[in-house]
Amino acid sequence: MTQAPASPPPSRRRHDREIIALAVPAFGALVAEPLFVMVDSAIVGHLGTPQLAGLAVAAALLTTGVSIFVFLAYATTAAVARRVGAGDLSSAIRQGMDGIWLAILLGLAVIALTLPLSPWLVEVFGASDTAAPYATTYLRISSLGIPAMLVVMAATGVLRGLQNTRTPLYVAIGGFTANGVLNVGLVYGAGLGIAGSAWGTVIAQISMAAAYLVLVVRGARRHGASLRPDIAGIKASAQAGVPLLVRTMSLRAVLLIATAVAARLGDTDIAAHQIILSLWSLMAFALDAIAIAGQAIIGRYLGADDAKGAREACRRMVQWGIASGVLFGVLIILARPLFVPLFTSDQSVQDTLFPALLVVALTQPISGVVFVLDGVLMGAGDGPYLAWAMLVTLAVFAPVALLVPALGGGLTALWCAMTLMMAVRMATLWLRTRSGKWLVTGAAR
């Protein structure tokens, strides 16, 4: 009689359930964020080309400025998850409140800089004379929502640390819906133009932050955690975030260098590069969802003094990352003839894009491992190592990428340099996880 196939070990099934429960809602929330800009673009685009150009400049400045503070989510997730693992929910929420207070202070500082510097920033970014007034208007109004955006980041980190990624998904969906309705009503109904789009987004962001604060305040009262700002706690949150800030800025530098090199290769190459980068970013959202699950799960295991459980979870998530990368790579190759024409009908752009896209497809398993291990080490609170590893990666990538035009290379050569960048990241992260030095247990690292 034929034996039934062996079922996976109970620990593997448990890890799979945890990863799916956290990663799927996290992916939905991550995808919802860029939809804000897409909705604004679709609505403002009907006002005219100068308005849309102004929005593009302002949105790029806002996205770049806010993205460097993503450590508010990452560091808070790891710190809260550790305390959850240790069984101290009051301390976990208190840690989260420190992150939220830090977000408010940083947001107010950014407003103080952005309001007077908006015209200069728009000019430096290269906005045309016709687009600059619209860009300045949108940037000044939208900057008022930056504290709310940073609070959303920190509060999302709190809920992720509490092993809750469903609520951020619901809040993101609500915010996205409100943003669309408000934009249509204020831009066209109230006749406010691009200013209406900015105000609609600000109101939606403040509403999201308010929803998060209500949840966190309820949790604090339930578990007896103080809501008052604690200078020592805020300072500790800032110190924990500095290495992750260095890591994020180094990664942004890699992407900026790649775009600058592609621009030097010519209009055809930069157009193809933008399409590939958009697709690469979309796949990064999916892989980052697994990384977010890793931050929450690893932090909880280490807080519970379960180094063995953390190792097992890490091993299983790496397998998920590899499998996801293989799946994405196959999908890119098979669907390439279908989705590329949706982006461009220019045959020269398509011809330039195809071989570079093949490189991206073949290296997706590497990306899967990188994103997962990045999340694992963030969950372990290993920020200083992540900062140094990303600086080493930048030091390797920059000269190689800058040599591409000098040596007569094209877009495919540039994406080979991007592959080298990901390979270096994978090597540095794999060496760290293999060493076991990240396995620091306890309620605080």
Within a 10 A sphere around the Cβ of 49, how many other Cβ atoms?
A: 11
Residue 371 to residue 171: CA distance in whole angstroms: 25
What is d(CA 247, CA 241) in angstroms, rounded to the nearest whole number?
Answer: 10
CB 297 within 8 A of CB 18: yes
Torsion of CA 60, 62, 66, 67, to 10 degrees: -10
Dihedral sign for Cα atoms in the order 233, 289, 65, 42: negative
- List helix spans (H) across 267-346: 267-303, 307-343
Q: Is 193 helix (H, G, I), strand (E, B) or coil?
A: coil
Contact 142, 62 (CB under 8 A): yes
- Do 36 and 179 touch, CB atoms closer than 8 A? yes
Phi, psi of 130 (to 5 degrees): -80, -30
Q: What is the pTM for the complete model shown? A: 0.84
> Helices 146-161 and 71-85 meet at what angle, rounded to 10?
30
Structure tokens given for 214:
């209500």
- Token pair recorded at residue 435: 């060493």
Q: What is the pLDDT of residue 195?
A: 93
Cα separation of 127 and 56, whole Å? 9
Are the C-beta atoms of 132 and 52 separated by less than 8 Å?
no
C-alpha to C-alpha distance for 385 and 146, rounded to whole angstroms: 29
Averaged over successive runs of 10 residues, the pLDDT of the chain (445 residues) comes to: 46 82 82 69 80 81 82 89 91 91 94 93 80 91 93 92 90 89 91 92 94 92 87 88 91 87 82 80 83 91 92 93 93 82 76 89 94 94 95 97 90 94 97 93 81
Look up residue 5 and give its two tokens.
Answer: 């196939």
The residue written with tokens 């600086």 in the block is 391
Alpha carbon distance 16, 302 (integer Å): 18
Distance, in Å, from the CA atom of 68 to the CA atom of 83, rounded to the nearest integer, reads 26
Among left, alpha and beta (phi > 0; psi -120 to 50; other), residue 206 is alpha
> Nearest 5 degrees, angle CA 348-CA 334-CA 361?
75
pLDDT of residue 123: 86
What distances in angstroms separate CA 13 from CA 20, 214, 297, 312, one per listed residue? 11, 34, 14, 12
In single-letter form, the type of residue at position 121 comes to L
Contacts of 439 (CB under 8 A, 6+ apart): 302, 307, 310, 311, 380
Q: In sequence order, which residues have a C-beta less than 8 Å from that of residue 310 and are 6 or more positions away?
A: 298, 301, 302, 380, 439
Both tokens of residue 32? Answer: 């919802």
Distance in angstroms (rounded) separating the CA atoms of residues 37 and 120: 22
* Residue 53 backbone zone (phi > 0: left; psi -120 to 50: alpha; other: beta): alpha
Which amino acid would we find at residue 344? T
Three-state SS for 306?
coil
Q: Evaluate whether 51 touches 194 at the Cβ level (below 8 Å).
A: yes
Amino acid identity, position 442: G
